[in-house]
Structures are given as structure tokens and as C-alpha cells.
Amino acid sequence: MQPVKGNAHQRSTGLLASCNHKLFVVGCILALHSLSASGQNINRQLVNRLLVQLQKSQPDTNRLSALLELGKFHIYKPGESKVDLDSGRTYLYKAKKLSDSLHLRTWQHNIESMFVIANMEGGNPESGRSQFSALITDCQRTGDKEGEAIARFRLGIWLRNVDPDYTNVYANFRQAAAIYKALHKPEQEITALKEIAVTHLYHGDLAIAETELLNVLNRYKAIRYPRLHYTYTLLSTIGRMKGDFNKGLLYGMLCLESMNKTADTVSAAAFYGDLARIYVEIGNHQKGIEWYKKSLAAWRHERLPNFAMYYAAGVLAKDLIDQKKPQDALRLIQQLVREIPTNTIIQKACVAQNLAYCYDALKNYPLAERYYEETLNWYAKNKIFEASQQAHQDIGGFYFNRKQFNKANYHLQKALSFLPQKNALSTVRDIHFMLFKVDSAQGNYLSAINHFRRYKSLNDSLFNETKSRQIASLQIQYDTQKKEQNIALLTKQSRLQQSEIKHAQTTRNGIIAGAILLAGLLGVSYNRYRLKQKSNQLLEAKQVEINQKNQSLEQVLGEKEELLAEKEWMLKEIHHRVKNNLQVISSLLNAQSDFLHDSTALAAIRESQNRVHVMALIHQKLYQSNNMAQVDMANYIRDIVDYLVDSFDRQDSIRGNVAVSVVLLDVTLATPLGLIINEAVTNSLKYAFPSGAYPPHSPGTLTISLSPVDQLSYLLTINDDGVGLPAGYDVDKSNTLGLTMIKGLSRQIGGQLRINGDDGVQISLQFSIVKKTARTAWSSQ
């Protein structure tokens, strides 16, 4: 098996977050941290600088370093392209010739170890092991301790990617660390110790890895090593996998702070993706998408194929699908692959998975199923079983939606069977919830209850009140720190300007005083000086007083901002919890329906679920939006109609047409309007379009519009071109639950309701956005 390579390397002082070598997926399908031999982080921009440097450099160690880094760049590119390997060997041959002429033994061994890596990347892993062994023996024979440490370090990296037994991996890293310690090279020693921690992380020993990485972090700080972001990102990953999102978010922010402070942005794309994933898992989807967009843009700028790049594109594609834009999602994936083609098995698997999402959303289910199966086959060929976990989870959801419950159960159980310590708790939680729905649909109620208990337990442990407050506090601190840095920069500029002004004033006063002295007006000058001195003292006293008031005002404003931020967080938390509780009620109603056999009762249960969904949707819109008081009615109404058409399985026979202006309404109006629309659309779907009367080539039409009448009122209309009301049906005397709710809710918001049943059914409701106490006027025509 050949490892999956990445496009950048790690210098001996830091871990590069990209996709080198075999991808071990820690928790789900994405591991962004790659390992390579010692060397500086490098990308295309740095390659161009090195090429310019080569033209001007002298035949010394600086030239050697440039040649070696260029060799690494080509050898560690993704895939096993012969052209890349040959280019890498060309630079290594030049470096070897120069090191031989300079008689630099350590450099000779260093370059030789890269030749071994190139041979193994070219398909000779077994001969590579023996070559490493011979190289280490030669280092010991010649007394080249540093050369031996470099060789053992690179051997440990390679073995970790191809050998499931990590015994030799740990041994080589420990021996490398011991050699560096004896050579008094603390930076390289700590880096070797860090690789031991990373190996524990790959193996799923999160507690051990975290303890070791914290020790590495403290030792780096002790020697004032600046590039701490490569350690912070590992600690952030561990926090996310353990479900400790407070630590995950804290270390993710510290990672970006360290990266920006050192201007070492080579791995920015991976860091952005790590932070994005944390935001998505804590429920801040909007911020997660913002960071994924930054990550994809950075990867594209590098223009090298990378697993993390295709993964980020897949997340953004799913976001477009959620926005009802599946064609845009498909174009995004297809354009990216045309722009930067895949060249490894793991990349092909990720792209196939993304295409499955798109074709599933486009309702091309056979093609979606084919791509899901192709995804699992690619992962299996590379023997990276952890990476197929999300694929099993996704295809399980796919089969559940197709009502193929046995297949869904098989794939979800496969996803749940991966080593628990390598799974993020949020992933395990989501799989249990899916299994709860599958078991409920199959009538396995005892198993369903057990899965639901596990889901609730994990969800509560991940998102209790204390953790949510801490996460919100961290975000406020991060945003505040950025503002303070901007304020400090402006303050510095202001002080420089004030210094220049004072200097100009002093010069002017000196000239005036000199002129007065020359004129012999010493007495008058002295008097003016005393007066000026007194004025300055008064001004200084006033300035002190003003500064104190400004500080007090800044403190009050700061406290106000914190209170407003906390209030907004609490409102979002309330809406989030209400939405979750309503979803639980809907799930329980669904489970209850499995015990019922009476069609009337089943219909009542389903209609109750729809009403609960409408109310839950309001709270979901509010906590996902930055506007906590108003609801975007266009998206809200469209989501209600799409949900109801799917719920009644009328996609082929009824076409929903939503024509809503850009309208933002208060939640007190949006909720009753949503329920009115739910009842009206439900009645149309049940009675207006008899089954079989509307074939796919000539579907019935259901139209909902909401438009302003004037500045203070709006008109809601719901029309269908169905069979209309029965002959002799009196709307005024009808006491059905749906019509009673429509009348009552219309009266509640002070609207004018009209119902016309001559040609289909037309419902119109004119209402004002100003609160009224008068009763609703309504009539039927």
C-alpha cells in the first residue's frame, strides 16, 4: 500500500497541517496534520523564492539548504507522480554533489535519507527499510549523531504511515529525542517528543496525547520557540474529539493568533478548516461556513490537490444544498476537480462522496447510490477504514430517506463500530440519533429507546449551559482582542501625531520668545510666560479630568456591550433549546404513530407533527440568524411548503409556487402566519388534488404569496387550482379544526380573512404590522 502524500513538509520545529502520507482520520474523515522529514514549511511561493536564491547563492550550506528543500517539495507532493519524484531526485543529486565537495558528513547523511524516502514513495517500501537500516549503521560507524537522529525521525514518520504496529515508531522517535538531547539541541528534541504525542493521537489515546502535547507546549515556551500554532492546532483537534469544545475553540483561536503573530501562514488553509469544523459542531453553522470558505480559497491559491481542500468543498456544497441550490453545489465540485484534478485514492473518495450529496439532492438516486458505493470502495482500497466512517453514516441516511431500513441500519452500525476513542463525540451522537429513527421505523422500540437515550446523554454532555456560556465567552474575548489590537494601533498613530504637533508648537514658541528678548521686552515676556504656565496647569488638570471621564465612559460602554452580547447569546440558547424540545416532541409523535392503526388517528398525528415543525422552524431561523427579533418570511414560507409537499409525498403531482417579497416580520406575527399557511396548505394537499388526477406531466399548482399593501400592512394569499370546495359547503358554519385554527389565528393578529371556493380555493388575509386589539373581520365569497 502506498501512502497518501501531501504538498508541504514539517521543519523539525513544527507540524504542518496538510494532507501528507497516509490519512488517519481522528474522529471522522478529516485529518489535516501531515508529517515529513525535518525541513522548513514550504509552498509554491517559497519555492519561487528558493529558485531565485539558487541563482545568486554561493556553493555553501545556504545553497545546500535550498536544494534540499526543493527536493522535498517535489517528493512530498500529493500522489506518486514519476515526474515529481524525478524532479525531487534531480535537486537531491545536486545537493549530494555539493555536500560531497564540501565534505559535510551530516549533510551527506541528511540528503541520503531523502533519497530513501524518494525510493519508498516510488514503490519500494521494503528496500527502503533496509536502506534506512544501512544508513543508520553508517551514521553510528562514522559518529554522526545528528545524521542518525534525522534518519530515525524520518523512518518513524514513514513507519507510522505504513505499519499498523507502532512499536518501532515510538522507538525511533524516542532514540531521535535522546540523541538531540545529548547534542544540546532542545528544539529538535521537543519536536521528536511531539511526534510521539501525535502517534498517540493517531492511535486514539487522546488523554496521553493531550498530556504529552501540553508538556511539549510548555517546553517550547521555555526556549521561546515562536511557532506554537502547530502544537495549538493538535490540542484543538483533541478538544473537539473529546467533546470539550471550550478547549477546542480556545486552542483554535490561539493557533490563528500565533500564526498571525509569526506571519507563518503556510498552513493557514488547514488551520481555517480546523476552526470551521469546531464552529459547525457547536452549532454556529454560519461562522463555520465563513471559515470553510476561507480554507477553500487558501487551498485553491496553492493549486495543489489536497484531501482537506475537497473536504471543505464538500461542506460548502452541502450548505448550498441546504439553500435549495443543488445545481450550484454540483457546479462547485465539478469546477474544482477540473481546476485541480485528484491524484490519490483518498482524494477520489472524497470527491465521489461530494458528488453523492449533489445527486441525492437532485433526486437522481441511482447515481447518488453509485457514488456512495464508489466512495466506500476507494476508502477500502487505501485501507483507511477510519476515513469511511462518515461515508457509512451518510449512505445510512440516504437509505433511511429511501425507506430501505435494513441497508440503513447496516451502514449506520458500521459507522458506529469504529474505535470509540477515534470518534468525535458529536459524530457518535448523530449516529445514535439516526439509529433511533431507523429502529422506530422498523418497530424495534426497545433498541430505539436505547439509541435515543445515548443520543440525549451525549448531546447534553456536549452542550450543557456551562459549556455554552464558556464558548460564547471565548468568542467575545477573541473578538474583543481583535478590537483592542486595532485600537492600540490607532492610539500609537495618534500619539505620533501629537508628538509632532507639540514639537512644532515648542519651536514656534521659542521663536516668539527670542523675538521678544531681542526687542528688550524681557519683563513683558516673563509675565506672559507665567500666565502661560498657569494656563497650562489648568489645562493639564482639565485634561486629567477629561481622561478620567473617558475611562469611566469606556468602562460603561464595555460593560454594556458584554451585557448585550450575553443577552443575545441567552436568546439564541433559548431558541435553540425550544427548537430541540419541539423536535423531541415530533420524534415522540412519530414513534407513537407506529402503535396506531386507525387512519384518522394517524392523520391527526401527522398534522400535529407538521404544526410542531412549523413552530420549531421559527426558533431554528432565529438562533441561526443575527437578527433575533424578525424572521425572513420568504425562506420561512418556502421551507414550510417544501416540507409539507415532501411530507405528503406529492412532489410529482403538485407544484408549489412561493412568491414572497423581501419581508422581515416580528416573531409574534411570523408564528401565527406560519400556522395559518400550514393549515391551508395541508387542506389543499389533502382535498384539493385527488390522487391520480394530476399526473407528473400536468401537476396541480399551489401558490402562496406575501406582498406589502402599504407601509403598515401586508396581504397573504394562498391559492390552489384544485377541485374547490364541495357544493353547498358553508365556510361560516364549518367547525373543522384546520378552518377553526385559521379563523382564530387570523383574529389573533387582527387580520381581514376572505375565503373563496368558486374556482379552486383562494384564501386571502390582509393584516397590519401594527398591533391591534379589534376583532378580525372575515368573510367568505
Tell me if 350 is assigned to some domain.
Answer: no
Task: Please report, for the domain that includes residue 764, its CATH number.
Answer: 3.30.565.10
Residue pLDDT, tens place only, 413-428: 888 776 554 556 777 8
Mean pLDDT value across residues 617-631: 70
Tell me if 545 is assigned to some domain.
Answer: yes
Identify which has the larger pLDDT, 254 or 525: 254
Residue 11 has pLDDT above 60, yes or no: no
- DSSP-derived secondary structure letter, 422: G
pTM above 0.75, yes or no: no
Last residue of a domain, one of 299, 315, 350: 299
* Torsion over CA: 63, 65, 68, 69 (sign): negative
Residue pLDDT, tens place only, 256-270: 999 999 988 888 999
Give how many domains the chain has, as a whole number.
4
Residue pLDDT, tens place only, 426-455: 778 888 888 888 888 888 878 878 888 888
Instruction: Quote the pLDDT of residue 37.
Output: 31
- Amino acid identity of residue 752, one-letter, is Q
Residue 209 has pLDDT above 90, yes or no: yes
Question: Using alpha carbons only, what angle is made at residue 558 by residues 555 and 559, rounded to the nearest 5 degrees?
Answer: 90
Cα distance between residue 396 and residue 407, in whole Å: 7
Q: Which of 336-350, 719-733, 766-780 has the lowest mean pLDDT?
A: 766-780
Question: Which grid cell sits at 118?
Answer: 524518494
Q: Which of 193-197, 201-205, 524-528 has the lowest mean pLDDT?
A: 524-528
Kindly give the residue spans of alpha helices, DSSP state H, lying in 386-444: 389-401, 405-416, 425-442
Instruction: Quote the pLDDT of residue 685.
Output: 82
How many Å separate Cα 298 from the centre of its chain?
14
Tell me if 589 is assigned to some domain.
Answer: no
The residue with cell 485553491 is: 300
In terms of DSSP bridges, do strands 664-666 and 752-756 run parallel, antiparallel, or are they unpaired?
A: unpaired
Query: Backbone phi, then psi, for 615, in 5-degree steps?
Result: -70, -40
Q: Which of 234, 202, 558, 562 minimizes the C-alpha distance to 387?
A: 202
Tell me if 94 is assigned to some domain.
Answer: yes
Instruction: Quote the pLDDT of residue 496.
Output: 58
The set of residues, in sequence order, having a beta carbon less than 8 Å from that of 718 and lying 6+ positions away, is 677, 680, 681, 684, 702, 703, 704, 762, 763, 764
Identify which has the larger pLDDT, 198 or 484: 198
pLDDT, the chain, mean: 78
Task: Please report, for the domain that includes residue 274, its CATH number.
Answer: 1.25.40.10
Residue pLDDT, tens place only, 31-78: 334 333 333 356 667 777 888 888 888 888 888 888 888 888 888 776
Residue pLDDT, tens place only, 452-482: 888 888 777 665 544 454 445 555 555 555 5
Are both 183 and 281 inside the same structural domain? no
Mean pLDDT value across residues 242-251: 85
462: how many CB neighbours lie within 10 A of its CB?
A: 19
Tell me if 528 is assigned to some domain.
Answer: yes
Instruction: Quote the pLDDT of residue 312.
Output: 93
Q: Which of 13-22, 518-527, 628-637, 640-649 has the lowest mean pLDDT?
A: 13-22
Tell me if 328 is assigned to some domain.
Answer: no
756 in helix, strand or coil?
A: strand
3-state secondary structure labels for all residues of 79-120? CCCHHHHHHHHHHHHHHHHHHHHHCCHHHHHHHHHHHHHHHH
Identify which has the larger pLDDT, 669 or 14: 669
pLDDT band at 15; cut points 50, 70, 90 = very low
Instruction: Quote the pLDDT of residue 641.
Output: 87
Last residue of a domain, one of 173, 207, 241: 207
Residue pLDDT, tens place only, 79-93: 667 788 888 889 899
Identify which has the larger pLDDT, 584 or 282: 282
Are both 35 and 170 inside the same structural domain? yes
Question: Which grid cell sits at 348?
Answer: 477520489
Are both 171 and 290 inside the same structural domain? no
Last residue of a domain, one of 561, 585, 607: 561
The set of residues, in sequence order, having a beta carbon less than 8 Å from that of 720 and lying 6+ positions away, is 684, 688, 689, 700, 701, 702, 703, 760, 761
Query: Backbone phi, then psi, for 552, in 5-degree steps?
Result: -65, -40
Task: Please report, for the domain that includes residue 94, its CATH number.
Answer: 1.25.40
User: Which of 158-167, 176-185, 340-349 tops mean pLDDT?
Assistant: 176-185
Question: Which grid cell sits at 624?
Answer: 441561526
Tell me if 261 is assigned to some domain.
Answer: yes
Are both 192 and 255 inside the same structural domain? no
Are both 197 and 250 inside the same structural domain? no
Are both 75 and 192 inside the same structural domain? yes
Are both 159 and 243 inside the same structural domain? no
Residue pLDDT, tens place only, 681-709: 888 888 878 776 666 667 888 899 988 88
Mean pLDDT value across residues 237-251: 86
Q: Could you give the C-alpha distances from 752 to 11, 61, 79, 411, 558, in angstroms and in order?
A: 72, 86, 68, 53, 47
Reading across the β-sheet that carries 752-756, which strands appear in turn? Answer: 654-660, 700-708, 713-720, 761-768, 752-756, 778-780
Tell me if 415 is assigned to some domain.
Answer: no
Q: Which domain holds residue 698?
A: 650-780
Percent of the chain with pLDDT over 70: 76
Residue by residue, DSSP assigns 139-153 as HHHHT-HHHHHHHHH
Residue pLDDT, tens place only, 366-391: 999 999 999 888 887 765 555 577 78
Are both 254 and 198 inside the same structural domain? no
- Tally the C-alpha atoms within 13 A of residue 484's C-alpha that lie toward its C-beta: 8
Are both 695 and 769 inside the same structural domain? yes
The set of residues, in sequence order, having a beta carbon less than 8 Å from that of 45 and lying 6+ positions away, is none
Are both 184 and 252 inside the same structural domain? no
Residue 779 has pLDDT above 50, yes or no: no
Identify which has the larger pLDDT, 186 or 491: 186
Tell me if 632 sits within 8 A of 670, measured CB to CB: no
Q: Which of 215-219, 248-252, 727-731 has the lowest mean pLDDT?
A: 727-731
Are both 758 and 654 inside the same structural domain? yes
User: Which of 557-561, 675-679, 732-736 tops mean pLDDT?
Assistant: 675-679
Query: Backbone phi, then psi, for 459, in 5-degree steps?
Result: -65, -40
Q: Which of 172-181, 213-222, 238-247, 588-597 has the lowest mean pLDDT?
A: 588-597
Question: Which grid cell sits at 767?
Answer: 393584516
The set of residues, in sequence order, having a beta carbon less than 8 Å from that of 591 and lying 6+ positions away, is 440, 445, 448
Question: Which grid cell sits at 609?
Answer: 407533527
Are both 142 and 69 inside the same structural domain? yes
